[in-house]
Amino acid sequence: MADSKDLMIAENKVVSFHYTLTNDEGDVLDQSDKEPLEYLHGAGNIVPGLEKALDGRKVGEKLQVEVAPEEGYGERLDGGVHKVEKDLFPDDAELYPGAMFMSEDEDGDQTPFWVMDLEEGEIIIDFNHPLAGETLHFDVTISAIRDATEEETEHGHSHC
């Protein structure tokens, strides 16, 4: 079996990396914990712009990646913001700004939406991802690369 150091990031590799995500203003939006983030390459598990930038990279490489909205969480679309009754949520729903829920149409198709704001008896929701419209700045260090198992490839995600 090849040493992890010789492996290059390609389809069906499971990659672990540390990252810090900042916006144009330099505010930290997100970062990896003590443990690196693990994902299956080529399966669309991370934003397309970052996945592309990681392609062909090796363990130990550090890179700074700027991802435009169209390669990130998309542009903000008008008409995504709605005001809905609180009654539409289950009684035990944890409602707070940033909370994600799934709406389901008659065909069973699911669409995610996010809580923006809470008003008395009403909830402001947005079908845009909270980071839609943002240029994303990733600071990445690649910590491990391994072959995906058959099961992981089949499922389209890594099993930590």
- Quote the least distance from Cβ 158 to Zn ion, whole Å: 8
Query: Does 155 engage in binding with Zn ion (CB under 5 A)?
Result: yes
- Distance CA(61)–CA(33), nearest Å, equals 19
The residue of the chain with the least Cβ separation from Zn ion equals 155
- The pairing of strands 13-22 and 28-31 is antiparallel
- Quote the least distance from Cβ 14 to Zn ion, whole Å: 12
Q: What's the distance, CA 12 to chain centroid? A: 18
Question: Looking at beta carbons only, is 58 or 155 nearer to Zn ion?
Answer: 155
What are the residues facing 2 on neighbouring strands?
A: none
2-38 burial string, b = 16+ CB within 10 Å, else e?
eeeeebebeeebbbbbbbebbeeeeeeeeebeeebbb
Question: Looking at beta carbons only, is 139 or 152 nearer to Zn ion?
Answer: 152
127-149 burial string, b = 16+ CB within 10 Å, else e?
ebbebbebebbbebbbbbbbebe
Query: Does 156 engage in binding with Zn ion (CB under 5 A)?
Result: no
Piece of the chain touching Zn ion by CB under 5 A; list 10-18, 68-76, 78-86, 148-156: 148-156
Question: Looking at beta carbons only, is 86 or 157 nearer to Zn ion?
Answer: 157
Encoded one letter per residue, x for contact with Zn ion by CB under 5 A and - for no contact, window 98-137 reads ----------------------------------------
Question: Looking at beta carbons only, is 102 or 160 nearer to Zn ion?
Answer: 160
Q: Which residues bind Zn ion (CB under 5 A)?
A: 155
